[in-house]
A and B are shown apart, each in its own frame.
Chain A
Amino acid sequence: DGGITQSPKYLFRKEGQNVTLSCEQNLNHDAMYWYRQDPGQGLRLIYYSQIVNDFQKGDIAEGYSVSREKKESFPLTVTSAQKNPTAFYLCASSIGLAGMGGEQFFGPGTRLTVL
């Protein structure tokens, strides 16, 4: 089955620790995205990537980092510099970037809690 997976589903982190969230897709999509969702709020874009070895900051990139070494994978690292990291993190992919109008396919999300 084609799809997009995220792991783990739940993640707990102590303050001051970096943590990496996994995102894998087998849809052969070029574009991938990371969003953050807080209770009662919409999705806010953290980073996006149009192609391997290229990625761009979104609206709230501070305290986060990404890599795109393979087309299928787009891991997100939440660093200790992120002041309020507790949130629901969603990864998505699409055939092309937003301007083309293609739908985005979302993973099941990772809920990160900082203790």
Chain B
Amino acid sequence: SQKIEQNSEALNIQEGKTATLTCNYTNYSPAYLQWYRQDPGRGPVFLLLIRENEKEKRKERLKVTFDTTLKQSLFHITASQPADSATYLCAPGVGSARQLTFGSGTQLTVLP
């Protein structure tokens, strides 16, 4: 069955450092992968989408990579700030699918 794994439930880093979050998937051949941010008690907010033919995507301090050979996506936040503290969810998508499946998320805490 399809499985999505996001690295350790919680990640703590120091302000100014680069945070790297991992999303691994098995029994999947996603055509794209989405990343969302979720703050406590709120709905997720879309951040980035990367397609299978794209190796890397950037948006301001965010960078996403997509390695279909390793079946992995990495999500980087450079020059991290305490305001980046949140849970980040990955969601690989299959082109023929009618629904999106979400990983359980990684809770990031940026320490001042």
Are A106 and B45 closer than 8 Å at their CB atoms?
yes
Interface residues on B, range: 20 to 34
Are B102 and A43 closer than 8 Å at their CB atoms?
yes
Cα distance A109–B42 in the bound complex, in angstroms: 6
Cα distance A35–B45 in the bound complex, in angstroms: 14
Are B43 and A107 closer than 8 Å at their CB atoms?
yes
Task: List the B side residues contacting A106 at CB < 8 Å.
Answer: 43-45
**Residues of B contacting A: mostly:** loop
Q: Give the number of chain A interface residues (Cβ < 8 Å).
A: 26
B-contact 0/1 string along A58-88, CB 8 Å cutoff? 1000000000000000000000000000001
- B102 CB to nearest chain A CB (Å): 4
Are A42 and B45 closer than 8 Å at their CB atoms?
no
Are A42 and B43 closer than 8 Å at their CB atoms?
no
Interface residues of A in 81-108 (CB under 8 A from B): 88, 90, 92, 97-99, 101, 103-108
Indicate if A28 sits at the interface (CB-CB under 8 A). no
Task: List the B side residues contacting A48 at CB < 8 Å.
Answer: 98-99
Are A103 and B102 closer than 8 Å at their CB atoms?
no
Q: Given A42-B103, A43-B89, A104 and B46 touching (CB < 8 A)? A: yes
| Closest B residue to A48 using CB positions | B99
Interface residues of A in 45-66 (CB under 8 A from B): 45, 48, 50, 56, 58
5 additional A-B pairs beyond A45-B99, A97-B97, A104-B44, beta carbons within 8 Å, are A35-B102, A58-B99, A99-B94, A101-B51, A105-B46
